[in-house]
Amino acid sequence: MPDNPPSILNSLLQALEPVIGFISEYPTTQSLAIFILALLTAKLATTILTRVIGHLAKRTHFQWDDKVIILLHRPLFWSVIFIGLLTAILPLQLPAGANSVIQSIIATLFVILWSGFVVSISRVILHSMSSQTHAQSLVQPQTRPLFENLGFILILIISVYFIFRVWHIDMTAWLASAGIVGIAIGFAAKDTLANLFSGVFILADAPYKLGDYVVLDSGERGKVTTIGLRSTRLLTRDDVEITIPNAIMGNTRIINESGGPHEKFRIRASVGVAYGSDIDQVKGILMDIAISEPHVCTEPEPRVRFKAFGASSLNVDLLCWVNNPEERGRVLDALNTNIYKRFRQENVEIPYSKHDLYIKEMPNK
């Protein structure tokens, strides 16, 4: 008859008794064994998280739960390591002061680790909420940076509070002196505070949002890549990033090329034809060029306008729309190229400035 489970366990314990006795006699070896066990446990926990729970998360219809599993990998691994370190120092019987400092350091790292996780997970949740198509949703794409920044500040304050508690620092004295320090900081950093308040107003009022193309009074034009509490960053068409303080953004005239009822942007291809040209033929050629260009929107449909009688030409505008302002330069280049080629094929003259010089009389020799 085979041995029952208790008998097998007793036999295993008897076989490991010399090893356990050797470890118990040497505190350093015991601490090392506890740390190795914690390392193996952390590896096992993260494996279960990614293999089992991650596999179940991939079967759901949500995308944010997969990101949560990825973000949870690092804090879970290091949390088990930190717990193992706290347990491993017990057999060493360190002095009370050294033991307290080590525990405070590990607890501080623990708070920082999980604070970073909470910040990341809050951004994932806010991004998921802002991507919903409901018009009544609390978090919209243009207000998402505001909630992200406010959440970061709230998490930072809570983290600092717990770190102070870990180091047994009395918060009462700090709060009492915060008013005096706040007044001094307010005078010393008035420009920074102006940028912060302007950043909050910009995020709340949302004159522009991430991804919009804006033009400033100073002439800079670019895509909004970051809306922070202190500054706004624009990426120009030259792939140069411009950082502009929010106090300036809040007090300047901004043209939002991506604003309006839709993000589509109207471009204008202006051309002049010689007097005597068939204006109906010119309109037909321009309309045909706009329709054949794949990047030109069909809705709103392109249109041609006979703009004015110029000094030496009939001025005509081809008006059409592109999906976003980023395509303006590329599509305008294609339209102008096709206009020049088609006009040469159709023998439509594009005049240039001419001046006739009349000599009233020749100078006397």
Angle between helices 96-130 and 144-166 (to 10 degrees): 170
Q: What is the average per-residue pLDDT within 310-332?
A: 92
The yes-or-no verdict on residue 256 having pLDDT over 80 is: yes
The one-character DSSP state at 167 is: T
Cα 210 to Cα 225: distance, rounded to the nearest angstrom? 6
Residue type, 183: I
Contact predicate 9/70, CB 8 Å = no
Given this model, what pLDDT does residue 176 score?
Answer: 64
Mean pLDDT score, 148-177 = 83
pLDDT-based confidence at 29, cuts 50/70/90?
confident
Instruction: Give the DSSP H or E segment for 259.
Output: none
Please determine, for residue 1, whether its predicted confidence score (pLDDT) is greater than 50. no
Binned at pLDDT 50, 70 and 90, residue 81 comes out as: very high
Model confidence at 346: pLDDT above 80: yes
| pLDDT reported for residue 165 | 87
- What pLDDT does residue 184 have? 64
Give percent above pLDDT 90 in the chain: 37
Distances (CA, A) of 351 to 3, 201, 232, 271, 275: 106, 52, 45, 10, 9
- 210 in Cβ contact with 227 (< 8 Å): yes
CA distances to 26, 64, 144, 259, 262 from 141, in Å: 60, 16, 5, 13, 15
Q: 46-78 pLDDT, tens per residue?
A: 888 888 887 777 777 666 777 888 889 899 999
pLDDT confidence tier of residue 229, bands split at 50, 70 and 90: confident
Within 10 A of 353 (CB to CB), how many other CB atoms are there? Answer: 8
Task: Tell me what pLDDT residue 137 has.
Answer: 60
Task: Note the pLDDT of residue 153.
Answer: 86
Report the candidate in 281, 290, 287, 289 with the shortest Cα–Cα distance to residue 349.
281
Of 266, 265, 196, 263, nearest in space to 232 by CA: 196
pLDDT band at 146 (very low <50, low <70, confident <90, very high): confident
